[in-house]
């Protein structure tokens, strides 16, 4: 069963009198519980692709389906709760709310859906990643690795069906980067979530169920990996 499907996606940006086509007629299907890696050089369209697949951005042309539902023209008011319910995001930049503590940042998506167990779920995740003693710290009081672990917990607090991770180790040293990837893969396996990961790391890509490579806004012939 395909949990994500993209049909003939094109994304064009207009800058002054120039039109820049970032994605060019891209079609892609992602199966439920699949671990998919997206690779490509800088400017190849990786971030744009996952922004479209997750409903964070709209395509210039083409259609996007989540769980069989066409979300291409769905309004932001309708998309926001849907994203919060089934999608978790982990970005290269942590995007934590600076005025909220670690646990408040993790709780935030669960509070948006009025989950009475928001605190308990958030705290359990912080325990899982070894940050329970930092739960009352603000982001400014955390290291980069700690902030990314908080961001990952926030992405997972609603037990999403799909996790999008865009270069989640890009701002981390190698040790913290490895720890973040291992945690993401643990949650992917335990919860049977779909994981779409943008990375340049060939070791990580080798562990994926499948890898696609973007070049000049198009998907190159796919490489498959047997786990």
Pair 169, 193: CB distance under 8 Å? no
Query: Which residue in 157, 153, 148, 166 sits closest to 126, CA to CA?
Result: 153
Rounded to two decimals, what is the model's pTM?
0.91
Taking only the tens place, the pLDDT of each residue in 5-39 is: 999 999 999 888 888 999 999 999 999 999 999 99
Q: Tell me: the pLDDT tens digits for 56-93? A: 999 999 999 999 999 998 998 888 888 888 999 998 88
CATH 3.40.50.300 for the 34-44+76-224 domain, yes or no: yes
What is the rounded distance in angstroms from the CA atom of residue 104 to the CA atom of residue 32? 30
Tokens describing residue 47? 């971030």
The domain segmentation of the chain, as residue ranges, is 34-44+76-224
- Beta bridge partners of residue 210, listed in sequence order: 36, 224
Q: Which tens digits make up the pLDDT trace of 85-118?
A: 899 999 888 889 999 999 999 999 999 999 999 9
Q: Report which of 114, 94, 96 is spatially closest to residue 105, judged by C-alpha positions.
A: 96
């Amino acid at each position: 069963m395909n949990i994500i499907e993209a049909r003939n996606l094109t994304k064009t940006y207009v800058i002054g009198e120039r039109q820049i086509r970032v994605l060019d007629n891209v079609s892609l299907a992602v199966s439920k519980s699949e671990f998919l890696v997206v690779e490509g050089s800088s400017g190849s369209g990786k971030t744009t692709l996952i922004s479209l697949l997750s409903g964070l951005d709209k395509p210039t042309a083409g259609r996007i389906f989540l769980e069989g539902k066409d979300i291409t023209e769905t309004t932001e008011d309708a998309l926001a709760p849907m994203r919060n319910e089934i999608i978790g995001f982990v970005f290269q930049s942590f995007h934590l709310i600076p005025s909220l503590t670690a646990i408040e940042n993790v709780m935030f998506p669960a509070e948006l859906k009025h989950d009475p167990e928001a605190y308990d779920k958030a705290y359990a995740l912080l325990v899982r990643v070894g940050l329970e003693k930092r739960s009352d710290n603000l982001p400014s009081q955390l290291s980069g690795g700690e902030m990314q672990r908080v961001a990952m917990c926030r992405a997972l607090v609603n037990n999403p069906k799909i996790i999008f991770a865009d270069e989640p180790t890009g701002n981390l040293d190698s040790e913290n980067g490895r720890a973040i990837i291992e945690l993401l893969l643990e949650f992917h396996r335990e919860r049977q979530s779909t994981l779409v990961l943008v990375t340049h790391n060939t070791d990580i890509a080798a562990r994926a169920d499948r890898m696609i490579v973007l070049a000049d806004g198009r998907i190159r012939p796919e490489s498959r990996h047997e786990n």
